[in-house]
A and B are shown apart, each in its own frame.
Chain A
Amino acid sequence: MAEIPAIEAEGLIKKFGQAVALDGLDLRVPHGSILGVLGPNGAGKTTAVRVLATLLRPDAGYARVLGADVVAQAGEVRRRIGLTGQYAALDNSLTGRANLVMIGRLSRLTRAEAWRRTRELLDRFDLTDAAGRAVKTYSGGMRRRLDLAASLIGRPEVLFLDEPTTGLDPQSRAVMWDIIRELATGGTTLLLTTQYLDEADRLASQIAVIDGGRVIAAGSPDELKARAGEDRVSVTLTPGSDAGAAVTAVSAHATGPVAVGAGGLLLTAQVPARDGVTTDLVRSLDQAGIRATSIAVRRPSLDDVFLTLTGRGTGETAGAGQHRPAAGGAETGQQPAGWNEDEGVTPQGGEAA
């Protein structure tokens, strides 16, 4: 059993008329892990989820969930999965409680069990106070939580979350993240799609970047970031420090020139992405008698990765944002390690913003 992944898809193809939504999609998700499926609007994320959750029949290829074929054994798959789509799949006229009991009963729970799980989930997702109100009076965050609770009522082993936080305010989003992490800790296998790079970075143990209906890169967040280039170090010196000596100390570890900014107090450079680079830097600076107020090594963000892989940003703005650059405003999109400019330093050693 350990050999069979919780979710596996091979060569999935799905066309809608002339439009190719999935173009040979391959995925493997081990038991108990979180796979983040990352891609811009129209990349095929939702179609992939709908095929895996038995809502759509693929034109070619196959997919299995917990060893059961999503086409031939759709009933078996449905018994063991939960699905939370982009739009809350609830009856807006009914109360939150009635929705959960109904979906519990339809998930093959007995009446008593459905009521018990309903109470449990309302409590866990902080919805007990609103349980007697019609869902249409709920806020976006409450609706999403109720929708997720509905997906969990039958205790699914595999949970599909299609853009679970799209449109939520930051606070509701953080709540959803906590719930998702808790589920993974409890052993649920999760596949979550997102167009938010930080979301995938924070939640997923493995990431599949998809574009044009196929996987263009896969790996752990760190592996993907490593593909985007090297780490960046920035050292802030205490006023009056010997900038020249500091540059020499940092150069010993840098793979390129060391840039000096902020009136000679801020050094930045690229360093190899390897463990221990920070302590090495600290040791060298210390030996040179340099006192630093801060030293930070930062991996390239997933924004950088996405930019590198696809030549464009992630398009956070629905529909219109496909060609927006990633954070940092690097419109060219082809530089190997598109750094975020959040620290306001230019490599030429100019002024800090």
Chain B
Amino acid sequence: MTSATFPQAPAGPGRWRALRWSVTDSLVLTWRSLARIVREPETLMDVTVQPVIFVLLFAFVFGGAIGLPGGGSYHEYLIGGMFGMGVAGSAPGSAVALVADMSEGIIDRFRSLPMSRAAVLIGRTTSDLLTQVIGALVVAVTGLAIGWQIHNGLGDALAGLGLALLFGYAFSWAGVCLGMVLRSVEAAQQLGFILFLPIMFISNAFVPTQGMPGWLQTIANWNPFSAIAAACRQLFGNPNPSALVQAWPMQHPELAVLGWSALLLVVFAPLAVHLYGRKSR
């Protein structure tokens, strides 16, 4: 489906022009999504209010009852897990926005313009990435407020942040696919929530996996959100009980995040373009 990206790209210099137009189209649509956020800031709640509430709930309500294998501060432990939620939290909202686009008629406008087909999706995921940066910053600031610190220097911390954003970007393509297959905004809202919460919770993001039943431990240890949490904890120098778990992703969390991100991108990006191309054909 790569041909769908450049509908009438001729050979030679024309191809470069087509590529340049695709980039322009993607930037215009990124700008569109961001302009919508500026006009309707409440749409940012899933990466701003939501992570703050989760941090406060877990730090002060549940945290006291959660013991960490190997010891350490639960507050410091928690923030590594929250980065996954902070960046991936935009995906359900992104699916909802796409379903709304598809049903509102503006997509017909886009389809009747001489623009790049993939730009609608690239613009969406690019603006998602920018909201994810906001989400990550919100988590970091909230974390600093409750006593979270980084112990391995700024370079490692930025590497952790980078991994989380990479995964968040890849994950938003899954959100795009969800938006392509659903027909109503309500369905997207509900399904997004129903899928998102278990995926988040069956991981080491909030509690160490050691206390889970064996079969669930396996799932949790291979959950990409566990890999992000473990990678962040390791890079931030925070307590990381998962280092004691013998599953491969917990022993190599950075590699696991890279692998999961690549896998999500390879599967969902072409699928999203394909689904978009098939829409209403």
Given A56-B281, A105-B24, CB of A78 within 8 Å of CB of B112: yes
Cα of A335 to Cα of B119 in the assembled complex, Å: 56
Given A91-B106, A150-B109, CB of A74 within 8 Å of CB of B36: no
Given A55-B112, A107-B113, CB of A94 within 8 Å of CB of B32: yes
Q: Is there a chain B Cβ closer than 8 Å to A27's Cβ?
A: no
B109 / chain A contacts, CB cutoff of 8 Å: 83, 85, 89-90, 103, 150
One digit per residue, 1 when the CB lies within 8 angstroms of any chain A CB and 0 when it does not, for chain B 99-121 equals: 00000111111111111000100
Cα of A18 to Cα of B105 in the assembled complex, Å: 25
One digit per residue, 1 when the CB lies within 8 angstroms of any chain A CB and 0 when it does not, for chain B 133-168 equals: 000000000000000000000000000000000000
| B35 in contact with A94 (CB, 8 Å) | yes
Given A89-B105, A103-B109, CB of A94 within 8 Å of CB of B36: yes
* Minimal beta-carbon separation of B229 from chain A (angstroms): 34
Out of A50, A76, A82, A89, which one reaches B106, CB within 8 Å?
A: A89
* Minimal beta-carbon separation of A160 from chain B (angstroms): 8
Q: Is there a chain B Cβ closer than 8 Å to A346's Cβ?
A: no
B72 / chain A contacts, CB cutoff of 8 Å: none
Within 8 A of B (CB), among A144-199: 150, 154
Cα of A102 to Cα of B101 in the assembled complex, Å: 15
Is the contact region of chain B dominated by helix, strand, or loop, or is it mixed?
Answer: helix
Q: Is there a chain A Cβ closer than 8 Å to B8's Cβ?
A: yes
| A134 in contact with B105 (CB, 8 Å) | no
18 contacts between A and B (CB under 8 A): A55-B112, A75-B114, A78-B112, A82-B112, A83-B112, A85-B108, A85-B109, A87-B104, A88-B105, A89-B104, A94-B36, A95-B39, A98-B32, A102-B29, A102-B31, A107-B113, A108-B21, A154-B114
The 7 A-B residue pairs with the shortest CB-CB distance in the complex, in nearest-first order: A75-B8, A89-B109, A75-B7, A79-B114, A89-B105, A78-B114, A83-B112
| B39 in contact with A94 (CB, 8 Å) | yes
Count of A-B residue pairs with CB < 8 Å: 82
Out of A50, A93, A95, A105, which one reaches B40, CB within 8 Å?
A: A93
Q: Using CB atoms, name the residue of chain A closest to B106.
A: A89
Q: Is there a chain B Cβ closer than 8 Å to A314's Cβ?
A: no
| A106 in contact with B39 (CB, 8 Å) | no
* Minimal beta-carbon separation of A80 from chain B (angstroms): 9
Q: Using CB atoms, name the residue of chain B closest to A153.
A: B113
A79 / chain B contacts, CB cutoff of 8 Å: 114
B7 / chain A contacts, CB cutoff of 8 Å: 74-75
Cα of A134 to Cα of B32 in the assembled complex, Å: 13
Q: Is there a chain A Cβ closer than 8 Å to B246's Cβ?
A: no
Known contacts A102-B31, A106-B115; 13 further A-B pairs (Cβ under 8 A): A53-B112, A54-B112, A55-B280, A56-B280, A56-B281, A74-B7, A83-B112, A85-B105, A87-B104, A103-B113, A105-B24, A106-B113, A134-B39
Q: Is there a chain B Cβ closer than 8 Å to A305's Cβ?
A: no
Out of A57, A88, A91, which one reaches B32, CB within 8 Å?
A: A91
Q: Is there a chain A Cβ closer than 8 Å to B28's Cβ?
A: yes
| B108 in contact with A98 (CB, 8 Å) | no
Q: Is there a chain B Cβ closer than 8 Å to A322's Cβ?
A: no
Q: Is there a chain A Cβ closer than 8 Å to B25's Cβ?
A: yes
B280 / chain A contacts, CB cutoff of 8 Å: 55-56
Interface residues of A (CB under 8 A from B): 50, 53-57, 73-76, 78-79, 81-83, 85, 87-95, 98, 102-103, 105-108, 134, 150, 154
Cα of A137 to Cα of B17 in the assembled complex, Å: 38
Cα of A79 to Cα of B32 in the assembled complex, Å: 21
* Minimal beta-carbon separation of B43 from chain A (angstroms): 9
Q: Using CB atoms, name the residue of chain A closest to B28.
A: A105
Cα of A92 to Cα of B35 in the assembled complex, Å: 12
Cα of A90 to Cα of B36 in the assembled complex, Å: 13
Q: Using CB atoms, name the residue of chain A closest to B281.
A: A57
| B112 in contact with A87 (CB, 8 Å) | no
A76 / chain B contacts, CB cutoff of 8 Å: 8
Cα of A105 to Cα of B23 in the assembled complex, Å: 12
| A91 in contact with B36 (CB, 8 Å) | yes
Within 8 A of A (CB), among B155-204: none
B21 / chain A contacts, CB cutoff of 8 Å: 108
B108 / chain A contacts, CB cutoff of 8 Å: 50, 55, 83, 85, 89
| A102 in contact with B28 (CB, 8 Å) | yes
| B35 in contact with A78 (CB, 8 Å) | no
B105 / chain A contacts, CB cutoff of 8 Å: 85, 87-90
B28 / chain A contacts, CB cutoff of 8 Å: 102, 105-106
* Minimal beta-carbon separation of B93 from chain A (angstroms): 14
Cα of A101 to Cα of B245 in the assembled complex, Å: 54
A154 / chain B contacts, CB cutoff of 8 Å: 113-114
A73 / chain B contacts, CB cutoff of 8 Å: 8
Cα of A81 to Cα of B108 in the assembled complex, Å: 13
Cα of A280 to Cα of B176 in the assembled complex, Å: 72
A92 / chain B contacts, CB cutoff of 8 Å: 104
A93 / chain B contacts, CB cutoff of 8 Å: 36, 39-40
A150 / chain B contacts, CB cutoff of 8 Å: 109
| A98 in contact with B112 (CB, 8 Å) | no
B110 / chain A contacts, CB cutoff of 8 Å: 106
A75 / chain B contacts, CB cutoff of 8 Å: 7-8, 114
